[in-house]
Amino acid sequence: MEFNLLIVTVIGVLITVLFPHVYGVVENRLFKESGNTIPSGHFKWYHVYLGLTFGCNAFFAYALTYNVWFAIALFVYSPLALDWVWWTIRNYDFKKDPEGAPEKYNGETNPWHEQVDWDNYGGFEIVGCYIWWYVFAAISIILFCFSLV
């Protein structure tokens, strides 16, 4: 019985970790960011949905592992994973079909990050990628390390 529970737990944890990556592929290929912005004027209601989805995913991870650090790390890591996958696919689309790719991305012609991108919240300098990617990655690594203790 314990062996079966361990297998279910491992599979469940893998699903929670892979979820934002799969969601990034699905978002890039099926969904388009649209709709009204929330009162901040920057983020959209869609991002509230994403936050709730990632929160549920983190809660599921906590229910499987009873590890609050792992759940928080997964919650912080999820938007980074989704965005990284989404932008990697976008970059690939532009390398594969430079003329056709802008049609997929609302006429945008940049294959990778630019300082003026709306998701470069704060308009920070681009250092290979968005600064928030580095921040979320560092926080995620620290939290994942805490989850191992």
Residues in the chain: 149
CA distance 133 to 145: 18
Q: Residues 75-113: pLDDT tens digits?
A: 999 999 999 999 999 999 999 999 999 988 888 888 988
Q: Which two tokens stand for residue 139?
A: 């926080």
Q: Identify the residue with better confidence: 86 or 41.
A: 86
* 99: Cβ contacts below 8 Å, ≥ 6 apart: none
DSSP class of residue 111? S
| Ramachandran class of 117: left when φ > 0, alpha when ψ lies in -120 to 50, beta otherwise | beta
Q: Which two tokens stand for residue 15?
A: 């699903």
When pLDDT is averaged across residues 40-52 and rounded to a whole number, the result is: 78
pTM of the model: 0.85
CA distance 29 to 59: 27
* Percentage of residues of the chain with pLDDT beyond 90: 56
